[in-house]
């Protein structure tokens, strides 16, 4: 699952310097700081999810309690209403029975008739009472069934909400872990790119010094020759086998040599600028107009072109076939002498073609 980072988040957490431009100490500080921030964000998000889950459980518990209380109040009210109706019906029956008895006495009804009517009233009353009790039991059973259904529905809703909260929490943890893993991969890639760039810069900065050391060295290996191409992040111990040497020879192309020497020229210009800043610390270049700005740009372009031409000429002096074969090749290891000769010839051709492009 690939997540698109929030631009505001990326802006707030972006480092002040490109990762490849940091020193080892700055990069370690940034890596430690980012790791602590990711851990803090993950912990904060987990705490927020736990608080949300507790709040949902509290609300659901209160809802179930309120429903049960309401069901109990409704049942008590219904029971009181049934009792009231029963008392009223009984009172009315007793009153009607007394009236019938008085009327029977007034109109000469016999005692046997009054007793028969009273017995009928009692049987009717008992039957009515039985029907009321049956109706009451039926309503109570229905109310209990409704209450159980409400409780079951509330419990199902609680389970559903709890499962949703747990799924959301698991998703949040997964996203945090993916984000942390992606950040770690990006930082690791940046660290490796920084190491490759640093090694290339070291090769370029020490290129002329390696050529000087070559004049007095003995038992020279293929990798000891200061070839004007980047090692591509490979160490001196990795270009020793015939296959690795052949691969390195194939890497001596016009594009690779031009890129390497351009970087050497840039380093020369940087060193010269630092030297000038040390020698002339009070130089003021804050005031510029359009004419001076154009002139400065032209001068900068000329400086860059001259530095590149100088780097190419230095390389040609180092890899001039006649001089190299006479002064260096006899001190190269016998097993690698043929490969070194092939590399010098290829490098010389590329450098001559490159010098012709400067006019």
CA separation for the pair 178, 38 (Å, rounded): 11
Quote the tokens at residue 40.
Answer: 């803090």
CA separation for the pair 246, 265 (Å, rounded): 28
Query: Alpha-carbon torsion 201, 252, 312, 236, what sign?
Result: positive
CA separation for the pair 321, 351 (Å, rounded): 12
pLDDT at 103: 58
CA separation for the pair 88, 261 (Å, rounded): 114
292-309 pLDDT tens trace: 566 777 788 889 999 999
Quote the tokens at residue 188.
Answer: 């690791």
Low-confidence ranges of the chain (pLDDT < 70): 1-22, 99-117, 192-205, 231-238, 280-294, 359
CA separation for the pair 258, 281 (Å, rounded): 34
Give the position of tokens 């001068």.
Answer: 299
Quote the tokens at residue 250.
Answer: 């194939």
94-150 pLDDT tens trace: 777 776 666 555 544 444 444 455 777 788 888 888 888 889 888 988 889 888 898
Which residues are CB-neighbours of 304 under 8 A, at least 6 positions away?
265, 269
Predicted structure pTM score: 0.44
């Amino acid at each position: 699952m690939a997540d698109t980072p929030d631009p505001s988040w990326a802006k707030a957490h972006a480092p002040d310097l490109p990762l490849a431009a940091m020193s080892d100490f700055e990069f370690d500080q940034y890596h430690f700081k980012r790791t602590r921030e990711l851990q803090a964000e993950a912990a904060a998000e987990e705490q927020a999810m736990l608080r949300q889950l507790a709040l949902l459980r509290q609300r659901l518990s209160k809802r179930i309690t309120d429903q049960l209380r309401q069901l109990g109040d409704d049942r008590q009210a219904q029971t009181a209403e049934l009792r009231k109706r029963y008392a009223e019906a009984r009172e009315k029956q007793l009153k009607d029975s007394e009236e019938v008895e008085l009327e029977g006495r007034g109109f000469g009804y016999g005692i046997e008739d009054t007793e028969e009517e009273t017995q009928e009233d009692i049987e009717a009353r008992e039957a009515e009472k039985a029907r009321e009790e049956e109706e009451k039991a039926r309503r109570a059973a229905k109310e209990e069934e409704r209450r159980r259904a409400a409780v079951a529905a509330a419990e199902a809703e609680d389970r559903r909400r709890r499962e949703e909260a747990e799924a959301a929490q698991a998703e949040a943890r997964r996203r945090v872990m993916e984000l942390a893993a992606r950040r770690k991969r990006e930082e690791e890639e940046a660290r490796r790119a920084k190491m490759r760039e640093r090694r290339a810069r070291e090769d370029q900065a020490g290129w002329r010094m390696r050529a000087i050391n070559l004049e007095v060295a003995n038992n020279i290996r293929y990798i000891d020759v200061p070839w004007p191409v980047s090692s591509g992040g490979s160490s001196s111990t990795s270009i020793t086998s015939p296959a690795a040497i052949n691969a390195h020879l194939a890497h001596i192309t016009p594009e690779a040599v031009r890129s390497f020497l351009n970087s050497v020229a840039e380093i020369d210009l940087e060193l010269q600028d630092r030297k000038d800043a040390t020698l002339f610390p009070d130089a003021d270049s804050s005031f510029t107009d359009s004419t001076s700005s154009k002139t400065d740009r032209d001068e900068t372009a000329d400086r860059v072109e001259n530095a590149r031409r100088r780097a190419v000429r230095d390389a040609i002096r180092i890899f001039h076939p006649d001089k190299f074969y006479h002064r260096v090749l006899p001190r190269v290891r016998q097993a690698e002498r043929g490969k070194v000769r092939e590399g010098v010839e290829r490098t010389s051709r590329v450098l001559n073609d490159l010098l012709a492009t400067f006019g």
